[in-house]
Chains A and B, each alone.
Chain A
């Protein structure tokens, strides 16, 4: 499997099922019907804290096609959350450009939605009030807002809980409310920042399936950030492997599996190989950035 890496280090042996080699940045090959919806070029960001400064992102360049669901996979703290915030207009990059739907990003807009890891529901508002609160900034009629609220509450299966307060709900339910709140705004681009990180494995699995189902029903563009390689393989069409210190896109991997991707798929050898492959890409980067850390399956070991 050839991984076209942006850092240009040595490629692994080609796999018989050669991927279509999606370029990390620039025009999408062949498929002229789908354009690049999200484009990042040379994005860099440095945080200064007092007298110390840390470069979070360095020359991040990639594109996501319209209707695509991509995952950014990397270790914690490598800046993947910062990328999402740059796209959502919450963080201004020091260098480079961000464009969504051909427009430069200057601040948050209603076409882009962000689902946070920590739910971020207002604790003093009910489920319904929280979703309505999310719709406030939209310029649609009250009736439309109420309908969307009702619709999305039923999509995530929480109609009976509409009058409850967040602390009365489990973590999974709260994240579903958060998801509904974001989706009710009907954004064309949905960003998700490790949305299931705070949940237990069973709830996580269930919600992952929910996300896949939502994407089957309505074509939106999505970018998911996660440290869980399996999650990326289960949900995404393409995976961007990120390195840390500073954050960079190290590799782009196409995920060739068909939906629905279920437990049966997870048991196949191909799945395991892909997972291994991405794991190697990740650990190679980690070893590079910190010479004292050697991961067990480091290819440079004997």
Chain B
């Protein structure tokens, strides 16, 4: 019997030269637009700085020449490092709570009903309102910051893990494992965790973003560590140093966000899942 070999779903596209050129031109246009937008922002900055004066907006040059060295010499970067460590501790605790709780919510309707009001309660309530209250219990030091990070960062990992686990457990894969008599432990490690991984990563990525906000809010409120530095810099009109530090914080946040985004895209691509464009957020 002749065997028909059907072809895979995605053969390598071989496009005619005309189409390839058009694609190349589009890519070139895109990158030139992107670089152009960066250049635009920098130019706009310089012009604004020049017109409003150093007191209001330092030129990029002064930020680089005065602010950046101060990061090292005045220990600003080191201080931010301390803040980062505190943030990561709080974030680790948040994940330690959110991931198992989310898995529970995803696997069981009962727990989903019980925990959902708490999850959304924390998210919808204006959390900064807790600043005056929590300082009474936790003082004005490191613990306070960690608690704020916990409150800010717990929601996204929780909800996204729940969604990921729910999809696996309520989907056809789960029934298949029962038919194949796979032991429940194996299902956890070989199916549940890999299956929910894309969502868990999304949750961690979004939660990390909130964690940054949490630690900075706490430290601004108590004028502690990095927050205190930022406020002091404004009080003493040390604008280049301020922008240098803010730049460092921003870069760290954007870098970690993007890094997790890269992970997530790779994980999704391997599974043949849709890799969404600019915004792959789970709201």
Contacts and interface: CB of A to CB of B under 8 A. Distances in A.
Interface stretch (A58-66, A95-103, A106-114, A266-274): A106-114
A166 B195 CA distance: 14
Nearest to B7: A170
Interface string B172-204: 110110111111001000110011010000000
Given A124-B194, A165-B270, A206-B6, A137 B179 contact: no
Interface string A195-208: 00000000100100
B126 interface: no
Contacts of B182: 133, 136-137
Interface in A100-129: 108-110, 113-114, 116, 118, 120, 122-124
A137 B181 CA distance: 6
A116 B4 contact: no
Nearest to A88: B179
A172 B7 CA distance: 9
A173 B116 CA distance: 41
B181 A122 contact: no
Contact of B172 (A120, A136, A169, A209): A120
B132 interface: no
Contacts of A168: 8-10, 272
A164 B8 CA distance: 10
Contacts, number: 76
B22 interface: no
Contacts of B175: 90, 116, 120
Nearest to B174: A120
A118 B179 CA distance: 14
A108 B273 contact: no
A247 interface: no
A113 B180 CA distance: 8
A255 to B, nearest CB: 21
Contacts of B7: 170
A118 B172 contact: yes
Interface centre among A109, A124, A133, A173 (most CB of B within 10 A): A124
Contacts of A108: 178-181
A110 B181 contact: yes
A166 B273 CA distance: 11
A116 B183 CA distance: 20
Nearest to A172: B6
Contacts of B272: 123, 165-168
Contacts of B14: none
A246 interface: no
A161 B7 CA distance: 11
B3 interface: yes
Contact of A170 (B9, B172, B180, B273): B9
Contacts of A124: 194-195, 197, 270-271
Nearest to B175: A90
Nearest to A109: B181
A167 B271 contact: yes
B1 interface: yes
A157 B4 CA distance: 9
B5 interface: yes
B8 A213 contact: no
A124 B8 CA distance: 17
Interface centre among B180, B181, B190, B197 (most CB of A within 10 A): B180
Nearest to A191: B179
Interface string A203-234: 10010010001000000000000000000000
A93 interface: no
Nearest to A212: B1
A171 interface: yes
Interface centre among B6, B9, B172, B270 (most CB of A within 10 A): B6
A120 B173 contact: yes
B190 A133 contact: yes
Nearest to A174: B9
A120 B176 CA distance: 7
Nearest to B197: A124
19 contacts: A88-B179, A90-B179, A110-B181, A114-B179, A120-B172, A122-B173, A122-B195, A124-B197, A133-B182, A136-B182, A136-B186, A137-B180, A137-B182, A167-B271, A169-B8, A170-B6, A170-B8, A209-B1, A213-B1
Given A110-B181, A206-B4, 13 more contacts: A90-B179, A120-B176, A122-B173, A123-B272, A133-B190, A134-B180, A136-B182, A157-B3, A157-B5, A167-B272, A168-B272, A170-B8, A172-B6
